[in-house]
Structure 1
Amino acid sequence: MKILRAAGLALLTASAVALSMTTASAHDPDTAEGQAAARTFLADHLPAERHAVVGTAAGVPCVNGKADIYPCKNVDLLSVLPLSGIGGGNGNDIWGWTDPSSGKEYAIVGRTNGTAFVDVSTPTSPRYLGNLPSNGGSSSWRDMKVYRDHAFIVADMISGHGMQVFDLTRLRTITTPQTFTTDALYKEFGPAHNIAINEETGFAYAVGSNTCSGGPHIVDIRNPKSPVKAGCVSQDGYTHDTQCVLYRGPDTAHRGKEICFNSNEDTLTVVDVTDKAAPVQIARKGYSGAQYSHQGWLTEDQRYFLLDDELDESRGTDKRTKTYLWDLASLADPVHTGVYNSPATAIDHNQYIKGHHSYQANYQAGLRVLDISGVASAKLTEVGYFDIYPAGDSANFNGAWSNYPYFASGIVLVNGIEQGLVVVKPDLDAVEPPPPGGKFENTDDVAIPDAGAAVTSSVTVSGVAGNAPATLAVTVDIKHSYRGDLVLDLVAPDGTSFRLKGSSSDSGDDVRATYTVNASAEVAAGVWKLRAQDVARADTGFIDSWNLQF
């Protein structure tokens, strides 16, 4: 999100201001577009909720798609600590800290009026330890990260806020909630939208500040209580969010360097910040469908980057939540390889990758967990979710702002704008029961190239014992200008293929038909594929959806 000020009044707006405007006008405090966007964001604002949940020792399990009042899949609820119990205001960003001496886990919870610290080492009974008040006023945008047992906190829209530094080891002895003071305050910038920290090098990157043209303001925090300015990245202007790493990825020309991957409103911008006094822009790439490049995260091998765009759902014709996939084999030439379309229709916000899962906080759709093991072929799969905003699933600014998935215990923290701290535990190895009626479906659009190689769309079958039936129903919906050019096969988990032959019911344009195959020799559970190939020229299409009916 971004901030504009109109007619002398402080107004809050989503980063949607960038739409239909130049970057310059998006930053202009007096544009009509900025004022209208501010009104839109404020119209979504709802009072903080007071729904507290303290689970049993095992939490509140996700059963039949619900945990307490919350829709869920493969994610159990452990507790909910409302904003009224952690200092009030509304929620925004969140991070975590593990005490190296005790192994205890703590939540650092951003709010409009300060930062709350919560002991979540017993996640079914979180314990509020106290509040660090905002430095100079309230802000809907507060962000924090951790380095060497210190929290570094910034806030947007507050002219003199700076970067607060808080020694987290002070939490070890707290028995009753406290009002804390900072251990240090960095004043080389005032407001800042976000902060990233490279824990390997000890440098912080404040973005969206009133310095460095809004680009990363680099701070040396190796001595946490004595931060020192180290440089600016201003070549590409305003940066909304960034991830900066010591690069170990596939591009040998840049291994060992410190590289930042910036979400810069309409591009993915890659910058070498090894020399803090003289950063070098390596690449600046736009992508089809861009509306507002918001935030993204690298896969652990640093080969791929998953980017979320905050405005494509509200402005595009396709309302499904989207994740943009990038191949970074060459840092100088990032390649946009595809888009994952979620079944949800909410705005995506912050995502973080742990192992082969991306944990996404997608506003009204809540926490969504994606299996990214197929990212090389631009295929992601949703394997779990926990919807903290049951009232809706639309493109509005309510619900899950961010999440933190990096605790060794496996718990995940979610901070809700209205809900407060929600502690959950994914069970991503759970075996799902078969869906009602035994129908397994894929609704991802897969393009079929003209006279090109075969493409596939996958369906994972689980919870079905034994072999498939002798009358396995395969229903397909394919948009294609001439059915006669298509060759369609169903491919079983072991690679056996079954030709889906045309008939009078699916001749002409498009394929909307149900086929029956004898798959009784095949084990039901596993990954089944619909394979499609166009074998003549002049026609293209795409697999719209298909399903297996057991």
Structure 2
Amino acid sequence: MTINLIPFGMRPVRLIVWGLLMLSAAGLRAQASKNVSLISQLSFPVELNDVWGWADSSGREYGLVGRTNGVSIVDLANPAQPVVLHDIPGVTSVWRDLKTWGHHAYVTNETGNGLLIIDLSGLPGSVSYVDTVLAGVTTAHNAWVDEDGYLYLCGTNNYNGGVAIYDLNPDPGLPAFVGAYDQRYVHDLFVRGQRAYLGEILDGRLTILDVSDRSAPLVIGSQTYPGGFTHNTWLNDAGDICFTTDELNEGYLIAWDVSDPEDIREQDRIRSSLSQGRAAPHNVHVLNDFLVTSYYRDGLHIVDAARPGNLVEVAYYDTSPLAGGGLAGAWGAYPFLPSGRVLVTDMQEGFFVLDVAYRRGAYLEGQVTDGQTGAPVGQVDLRVLGVEGGETRSQTSGAYALGVADSGSYQLVAQLYGYETDTLTVDLLPGQLTTQDIVLQPLPRIDLEVVVREAGSLDPIPGVTVAALVPDTTVGFTFTTGFDGRVIANRFVINTYSVQVGKWGYQT
């Protein structure tokens, strides 16, 4: 095929195409829930932020509810009728985070007055509390307390917004400063086994610290990734997978293999189906290999993460009447009460007590290969018909993994331009892996040569962009001519194409 281009200034103004490239072979939504039921809901006159839970020595459970103007202690003795026992005043702050150690709660804010320390030992009758400035820290975004009784404050007003570390063992009511990490701003963190997993949100970075010497934390691993906005982190029970959330509209919940901190690798990523992936995730927690996430406008989101390379959405409860992107709705979730009940704070809708039926997903995995060569085929779109979010794309190795929440017989469609679309029937059972390899048959192909010449002189033109587009689809191929004005496309799929050519200085 030869295409002639006319330089600007030449007449006539026309494009001469010798040959025709026509090849043929012959906002708002109703409240939604799945595997989650509402036990109770409690409204508040102000907006809420984070939530934590606590149980006394008798097993009586409480919700610690962050408000923009303080903290409320909610009695859950009758979870169907929660009662606010105590309202603790605080400086006005959109952000509060709460953690507990023994019978003390530690509450951060981003306005001032330091750390709020609450003694819960007098519940249900009374609580005592004090605002404490610790080693110059007057504000902090988040907090963590590890299993050894060390408190970590991050996003602080000093230490470059990093992490300040305190020992609670001598006196839980007066944390003793131990050390700090100040290389970058840290938005949130999780600590276990003398390793800290940092969400360095401004850098889109997951960083791992060795905190065996808490006076001198040491970076032992770090990973950035395109589009990252690493908001929070949480480790699985086995300690080899760290989950992160990207607090962005259309952000992801991502599973990372952290077994080797020097070689952190992504395993899978997932978004909520309620807003078709448009909502922003906030805070992820891990309970028995289930991910319990406060998901802003999509409410509470539950993912089966037993197979970290195949994350499956299995439950949800939409606490918010809002839909899509935006930082409103479910701020916090707490799934660790002895009763198993889950507490959720929705910024606008209040405090929720929920009952979650944790159920394993049904896993579907396999390999896609070329029917002629046997080679693996990547970038194949695979979808389970009738399942929102039941789609994935094969890797370069040809491997794919996806899952569904409910057992049944499903239609699996595998599609990639240049191959015949394949539809298979698969029977899937919860908690079980079904292996389904797929062999795609390639469509007929030819070796195609295109030559672009200058009209009049017929000299070849190098550096011309040639685009072959399949009409009424998003499929297209772009080439650039070489020094001889040629483009050679081997094994080009036979079809009907719309051809566009162009180069600065020429009319097309």
Q: TM-score, normalised by structure 2?
A: 0.70
Q: CA deviation at 1:216?
A: 0.8
Would you say the 8 A contact 1:340–1:380 is kept in 2?
yes
Query: What is the aligned counterpart of 1:231 among 172, 179, 199?
Result: 179
* 1:36 corresponding residue in structure 2: none
Kindly provide the CA deviation profile for residues 208-256 of structure 1, in whole angstroms up to 9, marking residues without a partner as x.
1112111111111112112111111112x1100000112xxxxxxxxxx
| 3-state secondary structure, aligned to 1:182 | strand
- Residue type of the partner of 1:124? A
Residues 371 and 460 from structure 1, CA distance in 2 versus in 1: closer, same or farther, beyond 3 angstroms?
A: closer
Change over 3 Å in CA distance of 1:539–1:404 after alignment to 2: farther
1:149 equivalent to 2:103? Answer yes
- Asked if the contact 2:40–2:354 (Cα under 8 Å) also holds between the matched residues in 1, the reply is yes
Answering whether residue 345 of structure 2 is matched by residue 415 of structure 1, we say yes
Q: Secondary structure at the match of 1:333?
A: coil
Structure with greater proportional strand content:
2
Partner residue in 2 for 1:78: 39
Specify the alignment match of 1:240 in structure 2. 187
What is the CA–CA distance in structure 2 between the aligned matches of 1:539 and 1:351, rounded to whole Å?
46
Question: Higher relative contact order at CA 8 Å, sep ≥6: structure 1 or structure 2?
Answer: 2
| Equivalent residue in structure 1 for 2:400, among 439, 455, 465 | 455
**Which of these two proteins has the greater Rg computed from alpha carbons?**
2
Asked if structure 2 preserves the Cα contact closer than 8 Å seen for 1:442 and 1:458, the reply is no
Gap change, CA 1:131 and 1:329, over 3 Å in 2: same
CA RMSD of aligned residues (A): 3.2
**Superposed displacement of residue 127, structure 1:** 1.3
Shift of 1:274: 1.5
Which residue of the partner structure matches residue 110 of structure 1?
Answer: 66
Secondary structure at the aligned position of 2:122 is classed as helix
Q: Tell me the amino acid that sits aligned with residue 311 of structure 2.
A: L
Higher helix share: 1
Q: Where does residue 75 of structure 2 map in the other structure?
A: 119
Matches within 5 A, 1:121-270: 121-134=77-90, 137-158=91-112, 161-174=113-126, 181-183=128-130, 185-188=132-135, 189-198=137-146, 200-222=147-169, 223-235=171-183, 237-246=184-193, 258-265=194-201, 266-270=204-208
Q: State which of 481, 484, 491 in structure 1 corresponds to 2:417.
A: 481
Among candidates 381, 384, 406, match of residue 312 of structure 2: 381
Identity level (%):
28
Cα pair 2:99 2:105 within 8 Å, conserved: yes
- Structure 2 alignment gaps of length 5 or more: 1-26, 363-384, 446-468, 471-489, 494-508
1:407, CA displacement in angstroms? 0.8
Distance 1:333 1:539, change over 3 A: farther
Work out whether 1:336 is the aligned partner of 2:297: no
1:195 alignment partner AA: A
The 1:475/1:371 distance shift into structure 2, 3 A limit, reads closer
Q: Return the letter of the residue paired with 1:373.
A: A
Decide whether the 8 Å contact of 1:324 with 1:339 is kept in 2. Answer: yes
Aligned to 2:281: 348
SS state of the match for residue 445, structure 1? strand
Q: Distance in 2 between matches of 1:270 and 1:498?
A: 37
Quickly say closer, same or farther: Cα 1:210–1:430, change in 2 above 3 A.
closer
Q: TM-score, normalised on structure 1? A: 0.65
Amino acid at match of 1:103: G
Q: Using the TM superposition, give the Cα deviation of residue 163 of structure 1 relative to its aligned residue in structure 2, in angstroms.
A: 1.0
Work out whether residues 370 and 382 of structure 1, in 8 Å CA contact, stay in contact via their aligned partners in 2: yes
**Aligned amino acid, residue 418 of structure 1:** Q
- Residue 322 of structure 1 pairs with residue 252 of structure 2: yes
Paired residues of 1:404 and 1:413 also in contact (CA < 8 A): yes
Distance of 1:142 and 1:496 partners within structure 2: 45
Q: Is contact 1:203–1:218 with CA below 8 Å preserved after alignment?
A: yes
Whether the aligned pair in 1 keeps the contact of 2:392 and 2:401 (CA below 8 Å) is: no
- How far, CA to CA, are the matches of 2:39 and 2:492 in structure 1? 52
Aligned mates of 1:366, 1:538 — CA distance in 2: 49
C-alpha deviation, 1:295, in angstroms: 0.4
Partners of 1:489 and 1:497 within 8 A in 2: no
Corresponding letter in the other structure for 2:121: T
1:390-405 to 2 correspondences below 5 Å: 390=321, 392-405=322-335
Pick from 76, 93, 99: which aligns with 2:56? 99
Q: Is the 8 A contact 2:313 2:405 kept in 1?
A: no
TM-superposed deviation, 1:456 = 4.6
1:310 is aligned, of 247, 257, 260, to 247
